[in-house]
Structure 1
Amino acid sequence: MVNEELPALHRTPEAAVEPRAGDSDREAVAEQLRVAAGDGRIDLGELEERLDRTYAARTYGELDILVADLGGRLEAREASAAEEVLTLRPRMNNMVQSGRWSVPRRIVAETKLSLLTVDFTEAVCPHREITVEASTGMGHIRLIVPRGWGVRIDPSSTNTGNIVNKAAEQAEPGAPVLTVIGHPRSGPIRIKQRRRG
């Protein structure tokens, strides 16, 4: 019996087969796009459009197209998840990292004048421990975590009077723990937790 929903298989040269992209590949391209937007090479409307296409992409070829005019090309990634870092540095405009995204083990969040929001509530988090290195100038950083997560402020943080943590310190069993290394200046770092329901 032939399944008509599946495409017929044909023997093709190896070079004609498009390699499939994974979540980490899509996140790498998303980060390149955010950096490009921060540098003013694409505007926010184009950033949103390209991010939608990034998270819908299935192959390396589809991802390459999205960064080809930005001087980037996606290579097969060999770095382990432990080495992955997401860097968020808004320039003049506010920046929001939210929706469905893959959380790496380490996030660097820096803002001088803008509001930077990192919302973990719909994110996919394969790790039990995440570190956020957060620093502000006159801008401020807002971290939003799901219920069940634990958030602790690392002892190496400075100017802790400008760090407000309204999330639980203890995580529920099996839930991630977020460690914040905060270095706020004038602008605060605020952490809140989504309430139940």
Structure 2
Amino acid sequence: MNALPDVDRERAVELVQQAYADGRLDPAELERRLERALTATSARDLEPVVADLPDEVVRLTTTGGRVTRAGDWQVPRRLIVDSEYGGARLDLSRAHVPYGRVDIELRLTYGGAVIILPAGASANTDGVRTAWGRVACKAPGRPRPDTLHVRVTGELTYGRLTVRAARR
């Protein structure tokens, strides 16, 4: 089992504190969640602490260009990629992913997408619809303990989706 990185714990504490500041948590709930966040030993322990708090959503929109993310980038809990004529290439293999589960929604009319996962990660593409394209997921479909699970949803009308692990 991998040790929980301090950045993950700090992010959970920030989300809990923000929820309290926004009036979504009472003092007793704040205390309970902070204790759980500070004593968590894995991403699985940490996930219930923030699961019902507002998701961090990032929306990437383009009309005809390609959306590309690679290298050392911060992956949000929820990512929406919206493009009429462009595609997407999302490489999570060296990215910072502070969550145990990430949701990616694709809205691509004429473009395709490639999602590259870190070693050991799993993905579920059951929520992806396509009219003339195809979906190929070469990663395990069921979540595994203490590893990243990516849930991909959305619509690729004329494009195809490939989800695979990073090449060594």
* TM-score normalised by length of structure 1: 0.53
**Pick aligned residue for 2:128 from 145, 149, 157:** 157
Q: Is the 8 A contact 1:108 1:134 kept in 2?
A: yes
* 1:172 shift after superposition: 4.5
- In 2 relative to 1, CA 118–131 (structure 1 residues): closer, same or farther, beyond 3 Å? same
What residue is the counterpart of 1:86 in the other structure?
58
Alignment length, in residue pairs?
118
1:140 aligns with 2:112: yes
Q: Is the 8 A contact 1:182 1:189 kept in 2?
A: no
* 1:188 shift after superposition: 1.1
Flag structure 2 segments of 5+ consecutive residues without an equivalent.
1-9, 12-51
Higher strand share goes to which structure? 2
1:118 aligns with 2:90: yes
Structure with higher Rg: it is 1
Cα deviations across residues 8-51 of structure 1 (Å, max 9, x unaligned)?
A: xxxxxxxxxxxxxx99xxxxxxxxxxxxxxxxxxxxxxxxxxxx
Specify the code of the residue in structure 2 equivalent to 1:169: G
Q: Which structure has more RCO (C-alpha within 8 Å, separation ≥ 6)?
A: 2
* 1:137 shift after superposition: 0.9
Flag structure 1 segments of 5+ consecutive residues without an equivalent.
1-21, 24-79
Cα deviations across residues 101-120 of structure 1 (Å, max 9, x unaligned)?
A: 11111010122212211110
| Superposition CA RMSD, Å | 2.4
What residue is the counterpart of 1:182 in the other structure?
154
Identity of aligned residues (%): 22
Structure 1 consecutive aligned stretches of length 4 or more whose deviation exceeds 4 Å:
none
What residue is the counterpart of 1:107 in the other structure?
79
* TM-score normalised by length of structure 2: 0.61
Cα deviations across residues 67-88 of structure 1 (Å, max 9, x unaligned)?
A: xxxxxxxxxxxxx984211112
Q: C-alpha separation between the residues in 1 aligned to 2:143 and 2:106? A: 21
